[in-house]
Amino acid sequence: MEDLSVEIEQRKETEKALRESKENLSLIYDTVGDVIFQLSVEPENIFRFLSVNKRFLELTGLSEDQILWQRYDDVIPEPTQQLVLSKYLEAIREKKTVHWEETSKYPTGELTGLVSVAPFFDSNGKCKYLIGSVHDITERKRAEKLLSIRAHQQEVLAKLGQKALVSSNISPLFDDTVNMVAEALNVRFCKILELLPGKDALLLKAGVGWKEGIVGNATVGTDINSQAGYTLLSKEPVIVNDFNTEKRFSGPPLLFDHKIISGISVIIGGQKNPYGVIGAHTDKHYIFTDDDVHFLQSVANLLSETIERKQAEKALKESEERFRTAFRTSPDSININRFPDGLYVDINEGFTAITGYTREEIIGKTSVEIDIWVDYNERQKIIDGLKKFGRVENFEAKFRTKDGTIITGLMSATILVINGVRHILSVTRNIEDLKKAQEALQQSEAKWRSITENSPDYIMLLNKDAYILFINRTVPNLTKEEVVGKPVYNFIPSVYHQVARKCFEKVLQSGEQASYETEYVFKEGETKTFSVRVGPVFSEGKIVGLVSSSSDITQRKKIEERLKESNIRMRSLADRLQMIREEERARVAREIHDDLGQLLTAIKMDTAWLAKNSDISEEARGGKLTMMLELINSSIQSVKRIATELRPGLLDDLGLIPAIEWQAEEFQKRTNIKCDLKV
pLDDT of residue 559: 84
CA angle 243, 248, 252 (to 5 degrees): 55
Confidence category of residue 18, pLDDT binned at 50, 70, 90: very low
Q: Under a CB-based contact definition with an 8 Å cutoff, are residues 105 and 54 in contact?
A: no
**What H or E segment, with its residue span, contains residue 173?**
helix 170-185
State the Cα–Cα distance between residues 501 and 507, nearest whole angstrom.
10
Domain shared by 120 and 200, yes or no: no
What's the average model confidence in pLDDT over 101-113? Answer: 90
Domain shared by 119 and 161, yes or no: no
Side chain identity, residue 159: K
> What pTM does this model have?
0.40
Which residues share a beta bridge with 117? 98, 132
Burial class (CB in 10 A: 0-12, 13-18, 19+), 230: buried
Confidence category of residue 493, pLDDT binned at 50, 70, 90: confident
Query: What is the domain count for the chain?
Result: 5
Does some domain include residue 61?
yes
Residue that wins the pLDDT comparison between 194 and 616? 194
pLDDT of residue 21: 45
Cα–Cα nearest to 57, from 37, 71, 28, 42: 37
Domain shared by 130 and 250, yes or no: no
Domain shared by 383 and 249, yes or no: no
pLDDT of residue 457: 80
DSSP string, 585-643: HHHHHHHIIIIIHHHHHHHHHHHHHHHH-TTS-HHHHHHHHHHHHHHHHHHHHHHHHHH
Domain shared by 543 and 635, yes or no: no
Confidence category of residue 61, pLDDT binned at 50, 70, 90: very high
Cα distances (angstroms) measured from residue 488 to each of 390, 463, 467, 494: 52, 10, 6, 11
> Do the bridges between strand 127-136 and strand 35-42 make them parallel or antiparallel, or are there none, so unpaired?
antiparallel
pLDDT of residue 654: 67
Confidence category of residue 10, pLDDT binned at 50, 70, 90: low
Domain shared by 223 and 272, yes or no: yes
Q: Summarize pLDDT for 409-452 with one digit per residue, the tens.
A: 888 888 888 888 898 888 888 887 777 766 766 676 666 666 66
State the Cα–Cα distance between residues 410 and 430, nearest whole angstrom.
7
**What H or E segment, with its residue span, contains residue 655?**
none
pLDDT of residue 331: 60
Q: Summarize pLDDT for 654-675 with one digit per residue, the tens.
A: 667 777 777 777 777 767 777 8
State the Cα–Cα distance between residues 160 and 176, nearest whole angstrom.
8
Does some domain include residue 674?
no
State the Cα–Cα distance between residues 523 and 536, nearest whole angstrom.
31
Measured torsion, CA atoms of residues 230, 235, 237, 243, in degrees rounded to the nearest 10:
-10
> Do the bridges between strand 406-418 and strand 514-521 make them parallel or antiparallel, or are there none, so unpaired?
unpaired
Q: Under a CB-based contact definition with an 8 Å cutoff, are residues 528 and 552 in contact?
A: yes
Percent of the chain with pLDDT over 70: 86
pLDDT of residue 648: 64
State the Cα–Cα distance between residues 98 and 87, nearest whole angstrom.
7
Domain shared by 175 and 229, yes or no: yes
Q: Mean pLDDT lowest for which of 381-390, 506-515, 552-561?
A: 552-561
Does some domain include residue 570?
no
Cα distances (angstroms) measured from residue 337 to each of 322, 345, 363, 383: 21, 5, 9, 12
Does some domain include residue 578?
no
Instruction: Tell me: pLDDT of 234 over 60.
Output: yes
The dihedral built from the CA positions of residue 58, 61, 62 and 63, taken in this order, carries a sign that is positive
pLDDT of residue 149: 75
Q: Which of 114, 136, 158 is the last residue of a domain?
A: 136
Quote the domain boundaries for residue 463: 455-552
- The 3-state DSSP class for residue 182 equals helix
Does some domain include residue 672?
no
What's the average model confidence in pLDDT over 207-218? Answer: 90
> Do the bridges between strand 344-347 and strand 391-400 make them parallel or antiparallel, or are there none, so unpaired?
unpaired
Q: Under a CB-based contact definition with an 8 Å cutoff, are residues 208 and 187 in contact?
A: no
- The 3-state DSSP class for residue 373 equals strand
As a three-state string, the secondary structure of 489-554 is HHHCCHHHHHHHHHHHHHHHHHCCCEEEEEEEECCCCCEEEEEEEEEEEEECCEEEEEEEEEEECH
Instruction: Tell me: pLDDT of 23 over 60.
Output: no
Domain shared by 127 and 52, yes or no: yes
Q: Mean pLDDT lowest for which of 150-159, 459-468, 506-515, 609-618?
A: 609-618
Domain shared by 125 and 150, yes or no: no
Does some domain include residue 676?
no
From the CB of residue 76, how many other CB atoms can be counted at a distance below 10 Å?
A: 20
Instruction: Tell me: pLDDT of 107 over 50.
Output: yes
From the CB of residue 311, how many other CB atoms can be counted at a distance below 10 Å?
A: 12
Q: Under a CB-based contact definition with an 8 Å cutoff, are residues 299 and 316 in contact?
A: no
Query: CATH number for the domain including 264?
Result: 3.30.450.40
State the Cα–Cα distance between residues 350 and 335, nearest whole angstrom.
9
How many residues are listed for the chain in this entry?
679
Cα distances (angstroms) measured from residue 26 to each of 20, 29, 53, 196: 10, 5, 9, 72
Confidence category of residue 354, pLDDT binned at 50, 70, 90: confident
Does some domain include residue 195?
yes
State the Cα–Cα distance between residues 116 and 144, nearest whole angstrom.
22
State the Cα–Cα distance between residues 354 and 429, nearest whole angstrom.
9
Confidence category of residue 636, pLDDT binned at 50, 70, 90: confident
Which residues share a beta bridge with 201? 221
What's the average model confidence in pLDDT over 290-310? Answer: 86
Cα–Cα nearest to 300, from 277, 332, 333, 272: 277
Does some domain include residue 642?
yes
Domain shared by 391 and 466, yes or no: no
Instruction: Tell me: pLDDT of 116 over 90.
Output: yes
State the Cα–Cα distance between residues 432 and 408, nearest whole angstrom.
5
The DSSP symbol for 24 reads: H
> Do the bridges between strand 46-52 and strand 35-42 make them parallel or antiparallel, or are there none, so unpaired?
antiparallel
Confidence category of residue 644, pLDDT binned at 50, 70, 90: low
Q: Under a CB-based contact definition with an 8 Å cutoff, are residues 275 and 303 in contact?
A: yes
Q: Which of 136, 159, 177 is the last residue of a domain?
A: 136
Q: Which of 497, 531, 552 is the last residue of a domain?
A: 552
Instruction: Tell me: pLDDT of 148 over 50.
Output: yes
Cα–Cα nearest to 520, from 486, 478, 578, 482: 478
Peptide bond connecting 340 to the previous residue in cis, omega within 30 degrees of 0:
yes
Domain shared by 353 and 264, yes or no: no
Query: CATH number for the domain including 129?
Result: 3.30.450.20
pLDDT of residue 46: 92
Q: Summarize pLDDT for 562-594 with one digit per residue, the tens.
A: 888 888 888 887 777 778 777 777 777 776 776
Domain shared by 164 and 230, yes or no: yes
**What H or E segment, with its residue span, contains residue 7?**
helix 2-31
pLDDT of residue 91: 92
The DSSP symbol for 211 reads: P
Which residues share a beta bridge with 129? 40, 120
Cα–Cα nearest to 295, from 393, 152, 415, 401: 152
State the Cα–Cα distance between residues 227 and 413, nearest whole angstrom.
57
